[in-house]
Amino acid sequence: MIQRLTRLRQKMSEQGISHLFVTKPENRFYLSGFTGTTGVLLIGQATADFLTDFRYIEQVKIQSPHFNVVKVDQVSPFGLLSDILRNYKSDKLAFEADHLTHKQYQELKNQLPGIELVPCEELLEDLRMIKDEVEIDVIRSAMQIGDKAFNHILKCIKPGTSELELTLELEFFMRKLGASGTAFDTIMASGPRSALPHGVASERLLQTGDFLTMDFGALYQGYNSDMTRTVVLGQPDSKQQEIYNIVLEAQMAGLAAVRAGVPAKEVDAAARAVISNHGYGEYFGHGTGHGVGIAIHESPRLNTKDETILQPGMVVTVEPGIYLPQWGGVRIEDSVLVTENGCEILTSSPKKELIRL
């Protein structure tokens, strides 16, 4: 945590920021390790204050010993900031413009007369893109939970079982393995519903011949895993096999493009070209991937526009898909760690052949 504060302060210094007000929960956790739900941070070049109410004072002392704990007795912590900043002889405060609501901004402005408010975006998100060894180890563990859960759920998939039943079993099994929750609402889409990229579970009963797309992840010690696999119930027909093979080819092309020094959009281009060349470009309407960490969707974004240069330590997904309305769809997703010469695939569930159940 101390190293993260040091890196942040260097960034703040480069941008002329003396004090930063941190309100986004993911960034609060990143800097402090605090797992509670209420609190804000005030970071200076030589100071680190954690403002929270009575319920979390002791928890902050345990989880965030490198912070000075300030008890908040009011509904909002904004009222205390004026006194603290004047004590620090600061007349300027940077805030997370992409998180603070307009109402909160107005309240902050009213509570801090004479203090210049400076909007700041993506400062901590840029730091969070590159994971340290502690983060990578936790993410690896989260990915392992996902792989074990996939292996388990394969045994439960059969005609007559509902998407909801499978989702509950999958999520319960991940919790038994140590997950504190799911990374996002599990996508469990069968038959024609597999054409829905974000088709969360319904009451639909699986049938022989269905595609079943499962996109899920575990939340483990504050970090997320993310993977997608598509399987088929019974013997696939020729079109199902064709679509699966194209998506697999695209995913492998995307994985091959991941390495340090490559712009994020080039990974997208590599996967997208395969699908387009097979004539299905219009049926791949989302980006090829995204960063994964404390949030399930982080920077960088592997899409057509993101020019972020991939660096060692970034964790990203590679997840192309084809979605044919009224018919079905396929998505295959792995999470990978960017390395100097390529990537380390963190998800190990089988995909080279269309799994038949």
**Cβ–Cβ under 8 Å, residues 314 and 338:** yes
Work out the number of other CB atoms within 10 angstroms of the CB of residue 21: 23
- Amino acid making up residue 15: Q
Summary count for the chain: helices (H), strands (E): 10, 19
pLDDT of 232: 98
Q: Are strands 223-224 and 227-232 parallel, antiparallel or unpaired?
A: unpaired
Q: What is the DSSP string of 62-121?
A: HH-TTSEEEE--SS-THHHHHHHHHHTT--EEEEETTTS-HHHHHHHHHHSTTPEEEEE-
Measured CA to CA, the distance from residue 72 to residue 39 in angstroms comes to 9
Q: What is the pTM of this model?
A: 0.94
Dihedral, CA atoms, 181, 185, 190, 192, nearest 10 degrees?
-170
The answer to whether the CB of 275 falls within 8 A of the CB of 246 is yes
List average pLDDT for each run of 10 residues in the chain, which is 357 residues long: 94 94 97 96 96 96 97 83 90 93 92 91 93 97 98 98 98 98 98 97 98 98 98 97 98 98 98 98 98 97 97 98 98 98 97 96
The CATH class of the 133-345 domain is alpha beta
Residues in the chain: 357
Cα-only R_g, the chain: 23
Q: Are 311 and 130 in contact (CB under 8 A)?
A: yes
Q: Of 193, 322, 190, whose CA–CA distance to 247 is shortest? A: 322
Tokens, residue 327: 């018919």
Return the pLDDT at 9: 96
> Domain map of the chain by residue range?
2-128, 133-345
**Cα angle: 115, vertex 119, 125; to 5 degrees:** 130
Q: What is the pLDDT of residue 93?
A: 95
Give dist(CA 235, CA 355) in Å, integer: 10
Is residue 9 within 8 Å of residue 41, measured between CB atoms?
A: no
Whether the Cβ atoms of residue 147 and residue 335 lie closer than 8 Å to each other: no
Classify residue 64 by burial, with Cβ atoms within 10 Å: 0-12, 13-18, 19+. Answer: buried
pLDDT of residue 126: 93
CB 143 within 8 A of CB 346: yes
Q: Which residues contact 172 (CB under 8 A, 6 or more apart)?
A: none
**List of residues 6+ apart from 118 with CB closer than 8 A:** 17, 92, 93, 94, 95
Torsion of CA 55, 58, 60, 62, to 10 degrees: -150
Domain 2-128 has CATH 3.40.50.970: no
Q: Which residue type occupies 274?
A: V
